[in-house]
Amino acid sequence: MKLTSTTVKQITYEKTGNKADLRFDDDLRGFGVRVYPSGRKSFFITYRNASGTKKRHTIGEFGVFTPTNARRLAQELLVQTRQGIDPQTERQEMRDELTFEEFAARYRKRRIAE
């Protein structure tokens, strides 16, 4: 099925036991929507990184993203994965960046040393 606003609105959770209910777009390979038992829906891409590991990267929630916007972003991300860029690695690196507390401690240490 092609993921459009109408089709995504009509999708309901069909799995049992909190299993991932994934629906894929017919037009863009690797692009899909995940349906949660609560009814929440989020867009994602599935890809393989440079070492061949299969990964899933969440783009965002339906409602915040329209299927058209999510598909456009998915296309960009899938192109990057084919160039060897792993969006999950990039997201993890952003999380690993300096926290405010660490920054403040370094600042105080430098200012006291002066």
Task: For the chain, list the domains and their CATH numbers.
Answer: 5-85 (3.30.160.390)
Helix (H, G, I), strand (E, B) or coil at 92: helix
Backbone angles phi, psi at 98, to 5 degrees: -60, 130
Residue that has been written with the tokens 């890809």 in this structure: 47
* Out of 6-10, 51-55, 57-61, 65-69, least confident range: 51-55
Closest CA to 8 of 33, 30, 31, 29: 33
* Out of 10-14, 25-29, 49-53, 74-78, least confident range: 49-53
What CA–CA distances, in Å, run from 7 to 41, 65, 74?
12, 14, 18
Residue 8 contacts residue 41 (beta carbons within 8 Å): yes
Q: Mean pLDDT over all residues of the chain?
A: 90
Using the predicted structure, report yes or no on whether residue 21 has a pLDDT greater than 60: yes
Helix (H, G, I), strand (E, B) or coil at 26: coil
